[in-house]
Amino acid sequence: MTIAFDAFLAVDVRVGTILEATLNRGARKPSWRLRVDFGPEIGVKTSSAQLVDLYPPEDLVGRQVVAVVNFAPRQVASVRSEVLVLGVPDAAGRVVLLTPERAVPNGGRMY
């Protein structure tokens, strides 16, 4: 399936820095509740992310991540997930985060 370039541009993918990672209690699959700083234009947003298998909280705080910031919020257990942090599966199906290869300003848009 192909999409028009305008459809791709409608997805707002930005970089943010994880400020906090705590357990999302009650989630069906083990997940972290992340607070992510996307800079002054977007601010701090919350996400529920299934990263427990590979990332302890101390490895997440301070890490930059790539996320979709313009999806409608979803309720995941007790967390109102406002952004979708992006990752890809490894050979075992565990989520590996997509991150910039060097530090960039929070809020930077992917293009």
* pLDDT band, residue 45 (cuts 50/70/90): very high
Residue 94 makes CB contacts below 8 A (sequence gap 6+) with 53, 54
Q: What are the structure tokens assigned to 24, written together?
A: 């999302």
35 φ, ψ to 5°? -110, 120
- The pLDDT, as a whole number, for residue 37 is 98
Identify any residues that bridge with 84 across adjacent strands, giving them in sequence order.
Answer: 68
79 φ, ψ to 5°? -105, 130
**What is the rounded CA–CA span in Å between residue 48 and residue 50?**
7
pLDDT per residue as tens digits for the range 46-77: 999 999 999 999 999 999 999 999 999 999 99
- The pLDDT, as a whole number, for residue 65 is 98
- The pLDDT, as a whole number, for residue 84 is 98
Fold for the domain defined by 5-97: OB fold (Dihydrolipoamide Acetyltransferase, E2P) (2.40.50)
Domain residue extents for the chain: 5-97
- The pLDDT, as a whole number, for residue 108 is 98
How far is the CA of 19 from the CAs of 10, 36, 54, 110, in angstroms? 27, 6, 18, 21
Its pTM stands at: 0.95
